[in-house]
Amino acid sequence: QSTCTLRGCCWSPENDPSVPWCFFSSNHGYKVEGSTRSTQAGFETTLTRLPSPSLFGNDINTVLLTGEYQTPNRFRFKITDPETRRFEVPHEHVKSFTGSAASNLNYKVHV
């Protein structure tokens, strides 16, 4: 039996070590709004915040989820505010991905 707090965090101790004890209910977080659009490297889709209590405040109601199938073993996702651009720290070894989506993936992504 699970117990949930006012902020939506639920706690349910399980005997299975692969099942998390702490989780959020399905009416917490964001939902896909509209369709998922294909890109050269993967996909992008708009997410809309569900009407649930805020964990940290100043929540963004609409965000953009971008996914890149970079290699058969590496998937990159990024969540951004489509209305407000923000500074991203440049890194000499981490460049923007400019390739096409990888094939023969060793993982599955469900949106």
Residue 79, number of CB atoms within 10 A of its CB? 11
The answer to whether residue 47 sits within a structural domain is yes
Number of domain units in the chain: 1
| Residue 35 pLDDT > 80 | yes
For tokens 């101790």, the residue is 13
Comparing CA positions, the residue from 78, 48, 57, 66 lying closest to residue 7 is 57
The answer to whether residue 66 sits within a structural domain is yes
**Can you give the residue range of the structural domain that contains 49?**
28-80
The answer to whether residue 64 sits within a structural domain is yes
pLDDT tens-place string over residues 47-89: 999 988 777 788 999 999 999 999 999 999 999 999 999 888 8
For tokens 């896909």, the residue is 32
The answer to whether residue 105 sits within a structural domain is no
Residue 8: pLDDT band (50, 70, 90) is: low
The answer to whether residue 9 sits within a structural domain is no
Alpha-carbon dihedral angle through residues 13, 16, 20, 26, given to the nearest 10 degrees: -90
Q: What is the pLDDT of residue 2?
A: 66
